[in-house]
Amino acid sequence: MSSMNAELSVNKQASPVPVKSSLWKLSVRRLLKNKLAISGLIVVVFMFALCFIGPLFSPYTDNKIHMAMMNKAPSLKHWLGTDALGRDVLTRLMQAGRISLTVGLASMLLSLFIGLLLGAIAGYYRGIVDQVIMRVADLLLTIPGLPLLFIFGALLSEWKVPTDYRMYMVMLMLSMINWPGLARMVRGQMLSLREREFMQAAVVLGLRDRRKLFNHLLPNLVPLLIVIATLNIGGAILSESVLSFFGLGVMPPTATWGNMIDAANNMIDFQERPWLWVPPGLSIFATVIAINLFGDGLRDVLDPKQKR
Amino acid sequence: MSTYLAKRLVYMVIILFAASLLIFCLYALTPGDFISGNIKLTPERKAELREIYGLNKPVLERYAVWMKNAFHGDLGFSLSQQKPVLTLFNQYIWNSFLLAVVSTFFTWLIAVIIGVIAAYKQYSWFDTLVMVAIFAAMSLPSFFIGLFLIKILAVDWKWLPPGGMLTTGSNATGLAYVKEVVHHMTLPVIVMTLLGVGSLTRYFRSNMIDVIKQDYIRTARAKGMKERKVLFTHALRNALLPAITLVGFELPALFGGSLIIEQIFNWPGIGQLYMQSFSLRDYPLLMGFTMLIAVLTVIGTLISDILYRVADPRVRL
Amino acid sequence: MGDLLAIENLKTYFDTEEGTVKAVDGVSLRVKQGQTVCIVGESGCGKSITAMSVMGLVEGPAGKVVGGRIEFDGQDLLPLSRHELRTIRGNDIAMIFQEPMSSLNPVLTIGEQMTEPLIEHLKMSRKAARARAIELIGQVGISRAEQIADSYPHELSGGMLQRIMIAIAISCGPKLLIADEPTTALDVTIQAQILDLLRQFKAESNMSILLITHDLGVVAEMADYVIVMYAGKVVEEGEVVELFANPKHPYTQGLLKSKPVINQRQNELYSIPGQVPNPLELTESCYFHDRCAHCMDICRTREPRLKNVTDESKVACWLYEEAVVHG
């Protein structure tokens, strides 16, 4: 990634617009050639469209209890059947997707923001600031994530956080777990960038700290950040589903893919009514694999040297 | 090396202290405790029990007591099981280890073989297929794939038992016992292997791709070596070398059990023990488990660091 | 004496994202038995790819030999199966490379790496192979052979490793040794020792050497016959004395001029103006035309053929085409 970044930054100083845009154009062209990444993108777009636009076309959005329609198997009227309260599973699946995707996206943004901010500060100023931030990150990385999430989840339940707000708390929890890894990576990148020629040129020119940080260092992290951010959404969606499945994340009546699978904890639903819990599981799987394929394609294009 | 090691050890201890304090406070913050959750007890009895277990003391004092005992090799007494925490760990941890060690073995075996072949045939249809499979494995929601396979393989087709370590009421011994355990662990091992194999295969594949480009591989070919020998003697040895460091990172997974998988498959391991104790708020056990994982994580990282230094051929072989 | 190696119109192309790179484009050359032939040229001119094509080690799937013939000892190598080619590699044709430090496997001992071809090609037993390996280590001038055999590459110096590479190369008694920039990565004093070693083994076994280098000093010392390559093509070839005395092609002249001469202080060393053309943007022309002081109109539009100008030398340049110059 280093050579490309240097190129990007150096070129930008010479002739800001055309060179940069052609570099991006080249990246887009290379991305379009990657069939796996593009199929991933298509699936992601489809899932978003399904969840955010789909419910508008559903006649079953009232979320009311229909006694006559309880636990019906998939039919033409209800493509994915109905649940124990007679609600349409497909509609619920789409509504759940809204929450799951939003939580995934938002917690990624939040952890990226915290990780980037703290990582950049640590990597840029070094010294005592760096020490403090990185030791806190080490500490959080030492404590196993899942038990930590469980404790947070239990706290939420006990504090009687209204179910509407739990979604936001879950985002916060996931970011708490995710930022240390991100901060570490950003810091590492900052440290290596600092030593590079164009940065030393900026020092020689006597640019101010803020200018150096925002105009020269951060733009060079953009490709890496895009890649990491994409791959992190998948991870966040998975974590949310685990929490909600164990009843510690977002709780009913707000549906998420995770808490819909909770139906499988009921012996009869598990054995006799797979339409209740298989579709949300497959939705998670399809969405995450699509995001990962797309993210990996992005990595190849934006960050070709970093393979893992 | 020795000053480096000393520094690392000191830092490790400090981090673990901080972690233990944080974990203790978090659990202390977690509302409810084992006693108040028990509806059979009268308020007077509850107060009495709290007094006995020291639950009405301030958090820091409780922490100090806990820490002091921990240094004497006593992680406390499980309230729900009425046994010392360490005794319980010793009883459950080996079940977890059995599951983890078998699935880790299969994960590595499959990852190395598939990774090498995919790297050798980079950009072929086989490689593309492997890449898709890798991403599929990495994107599996663990609990869902567990449930899904139980539904298909155990409930519908009845090939394998759905959970547990032994058939209920079984008192098989000797070979029959072993057979039964193997039968029961097949499904969880499959799932754990599936969950781990993706990222490891990817790791070996990209390692091998880097190694295959090296000059010494060209030399081996120029010497007229068989392609199999070039790959498995010359290339794989180099690709495996950095993987030695992963051994350390496997440590928490080997002994820490898997919360989700053990819960789903009703496997009597330390992870399931934790999950059950969590809803009961059996703090000594929860605390002990979380610290155990933290200690394993820190030791694992240290082992990885040391192995990395040892394994680098330019340092020593 | 017949030709040991005869390459006819070899074409090795690489597919890249931006288009096809004709790394080697219609190269022909001959190596007689016991002869040392040098291929000279700047980096990227296709000289190494030519060697790799002979070895069948062009890295696929991007790179491919798309045309031509490579005849070794009367046998066409290109149609051979991988297995058949493998029995020739390291056995009848051996190769040494530029970077001795990275050309040996860091996790295997020197001894292990030396015995491999002996066991593979000469069907020696492990024990006999080891004894032979130790003998070979001594022959390439390294003392404490036993100890060296048990050490790992990172424990030896670059010069020693290149000696080991030579020992591996000659271990099966090859008829042809391809040496790709064997001294480039080494100190000057070590360079001379390595070249001496090559000459010594050549004299002892009457093998042929195809030496690839950009160093004209090495050429002067080693070569019987010289081939000058530029942008994937042969632009001039000839007996070494003739070529050094009367270089014909402006590129060869430039190369010789840019070589420092001992005992002669120059204020400024000559360098050929311009750069090697982008291999993707080549159209029919003399590829050297925009760096050439004698460039004519025809040079920009038509490619000159490699033709004999004297009995001992060939050149591909319009300056030597009678019809053009006088017509």
Tokens linked to B79: 């309230």
**Contacts with A149 from chain B: Cβ below 8 Å:** none
What is the mean pLDDT of the segment spanning C70-91?
90
Q: How far apart are CA A140 and CA A111, in angstroms?
A: 13
pLDDT digits 0-9 by tens, B263-288: 999 899 999 999 888 888 888 888 88
Q: Report domain extents, chain A.
A: 92-306
For residue A138, give how far its alpha carbon lies from the nearest alpha carbon of chain B (Å): 8
- Residue C3 confidence (pLDDT): 86
Residue C223 lies in a domain: yes
For residue B57, give how far its alpha carbon lies from the nearest alpha carbon of chain A (Å): 21
Tokens linked to C116: 């491999």
CATH code at position C223 = 3.40.50.300
**Pick from A196, A175, A214: which is nearest to A6 by CA?**
A196
**Contacts with B209 from chain C: Cβ below 8 Å:** none
Q: Report chain B residues touching chain C, CB-CB < 8 A.
A: 123, 214-216, 218-227, 229, 233-234, 237-238, 241, 313-314, 317
**Full set of structural domains in chain B with CATH:** 92-283 (1.10.3720.10)
- Number of domains present in the structure of chain C: 1
Confidence of residue C115 (pLDDT cuts 50, 70, 90): very high
Angle at B29 between CA A109 and CA B45, to 5 degrees: 150
Angle at A33 between CA A28 and CA A35, to 5 degrees: 120
pLDDT digits 0-9 by tens, C171-217: 999 999 999 999 888 888 889 999 999 999 999 888 999 999 988 88
- Residue A10 confidence (pLDDT): 35
Measure CB to CB from residue B147 to each of A135, A264, A307 and give the nearest one: A264
**Contacts with B290 from chain A: Cβ below 8 Å:** 143-144, 147
Angle at C152 between CA C149 and CA C153, to 5 degrees: 105
Q: How far apart are CA B71 and CA B213, in angstroms?
A: 51
pLDDT digits 0-9 by tens, C218-242: 999 899 999 999 988 999 999 999 8
What is the mean pLDDT of the segment spanning C92-106?
91
Measure CB to CB from residue A292 to each of B128, B135, B143 and give the nearest one: B135
Measure CB to CB from residue C90 to each of B224, B233, B313 and give the nearest one: B224
What is the identity of the amino acid at C265?
A: R
Average pLDDT, chain B: 85
Write phi, then psi, for B78 (nearest 5 degrees): -70, 125
Q: What's the number of CA atoms in the CB half-sphere (13 Å) around residue C209?
A: 30
Q: How far apart are CA C283 and CA C105, in angstroms?
A: 42
**Contacts with B148 from chain A: Cβ below 8 Å:** 278, 281
For residue A67, the tally of other CB atoms under 10 A from its CB is 7
Residue C68 lies in a domain: yes
pLDDT reading at A307 higher than 70: no
Residue C100 lies in a domain: no
B293:A155 CB<8 A = no
pLDDT digits 0-9 by tens, A251-282: 877 888 988 888 778 777 778 888 888 899 99
For residue B230, give how far its alpha carbon lies from the nearest alpha carbon of chain C (Å): 11
**Contacts with B218 from chain C: Cβ below 8 Å:** 57, 97, 103
C116:B220 CB<8 A = yes
**Pick from C194, C191, C206: which is nearest to C165 by CA?**
C194
Give the mutation candidate from C59, C84, C92, C103 for the B interface (greatest B CB count, under 10 A).
C103
Q: How far apart are CA B234 and CA C90, in angstroms?
A: 16
Distances (CA, A) of C171 to B92, B219, B227, C130, C228: 60, 14, 20, 12, 30
Residue C190 lies in a domain: yes
Can you give the length of chain A in residues? 308
pLDDT reading at A3 higher than 50: no
Residues B92, B269 contacting (CB under 8 angstroms): yes
Tokens linked to A305: 């040297």
Q: How far apart are CA C24 and CA C230, in angstroms?
A: 10
Note whether C86 contacts B: Cβ–Cβ < 8 A: yes
Instruction: Report CA C77 to chain centroid distance, whole Å.
Output: 18
The CATH homologous superfamily of the domain defined by A92-306? MetI-like (1.10.3720.10)
Q: What does the CA dihedral A115, A118, A122, A123 come to, rounded to 10 degrees?
A: 40
Output B180-183 pairs: Cβ under 8 A, ≥24 positions apart: B181/B98
Measure CB to CB from residue B224 to each of C91, C104, C105 and give the nearest one: C91
A147:B289 CB<8 A = yes
Q: How far apart are CA B140 and CA A282, in angstroms?
A: 9
- Nearest residue on chain B to C90, judged by CA atoms? B223
For residue B22, give how far its alpha carbon lies from the nearest alpha carbon of chain A (Å): 9
Q: At what angle do helices B174-212 and B142-149 cross, to 10 degrees?
A: 130
pLDDT digits 0-9 by tens, A62-98: 667 776 677 777 777 777 777 777 788 888 889 889 9
Tokens linked to A62: 């009232």
Note whether C82 contacts B: Cβ–Cβ < 8 A: yes
- Nearest residue on chain A to B252, judged by CA atoms? A144
pLDDT digits 0-9 by tens, A121-179: 888 777 888 889 888 888 888 888 888 888 888 877 777 777 778 888 888 888 988 88
pLDDT reading at B216 higher than 80: yes
For residue B234, give how far its alpha carbon lies from the nearest alpha carbon of chain C (Å): 7
For residue C100, give how far its alpha carbon lies from the nearest alpha carbon of chain B (Å): 9
Note whether B23 contacts A: Cβ–Cβ < 8 A: yes
B294:A245 CB<8 A = no
Contacts of A151 (CB under 8 A, 6+ apart): B26, B27, B29, B30
What is the mean pLDDT of the segment spanning C134-159?
91
Measure CB to CB from residue A36 to each of B31, B132, B148 and give the nearest one: B132
For residue A18, give how far its alpha carbon lies from the nearest alpha carbon of chain B (Å): 33
What is the mean pLDDT of the segment spanning C51-70?
87
Range of the domain at C274: 3-92+174-261+269-320
- Residue A62 confidence (pLDDT): 66
pLDDT reading at C267 higher than 70: no
Residue C11 lies in a domain: yes
For residue A156, give how far its alpha carbon lies from the nearest alpha carbon of chain B (Å): 9
Report the 3 state secondary structure along chain C.
CCEEEEEEEEEEEEEECCEEEEEEEEEEEEEECCCEEEEECCCCCCHHHHHHHHHCCCCCCCEEEEEEEEEECCEECCCCCHHHHHHHECCCEEEECCCHHHHCCCCCCHHHHHHHHHHHHCCCCHHHHHHHHHHHHHHCCCCCHHHHHCCCHHHCCHHHHHHHHHHHHHCCCCCEEEEECCCCCCCHHHHHHHHHHHHHHHHHHCCEEEEEECCHHHHHHHCCEEEEEECCEEEEEEEHHHHHHCCCCHHHHHHHHCCCCCCCCCCCCCCCCCCCCCHHHCCCCCCCHHHCCCCCHHHHHCCCCCEECCCCEEECCHHHCHHHHHC
Measure CB to CB from residue B224 to each of C89, C103, C154 and give the nearest one: C89
- Least confident residue range of A110-119, B204-213, C282-291: C282-291
Q: How many CB pairs under 8 A join A and B?
A: 111
Q: How far apart are CA C301 and CA A253, in angstroms?
A: 78
Name all chains with 3 or more CB-CB pairs below 8 Å to chain B.
A, C
Contacts of A232 (CB under 8 A, 6+ apart): A108, A111, A112, A178, A182
Q: How far apart are CA A140 and CA B118, in angstroms?
A: 36
- Residue C122 confidence (pLDDT): 93
**Contacts with B226 from chain C: Cβ below 8 Å:** 86, 120
For residue C146, the tally of other CB atoms under 10 A from its CB is 11
Note whether C158 contacts B: Cβ–Cβ < 8 A: no
Tokens linked to C276: 């090697």
pLDDT reading at A284 higher than 90: yes
Characterize C253-288 residue by residue with b for buried, 16 or more Cβ atoms within 10 angstroms of its Cβ, and e for exposed. bbbeeeeeeeeeeeeeeeebeeebbebeebeebbbb
C104:B214 CB<8 A = no
Q: Kindly tell me the sign of the dihedral angle through the C-alpha atoms of B154, B155, B159, B165.
A: positive
C103:B216 CB<8 A = yes
pLDDT digits 0-9 by tens, C9-50: 999 999 887 788 888 988 999 999 999 999 998 888 888 999
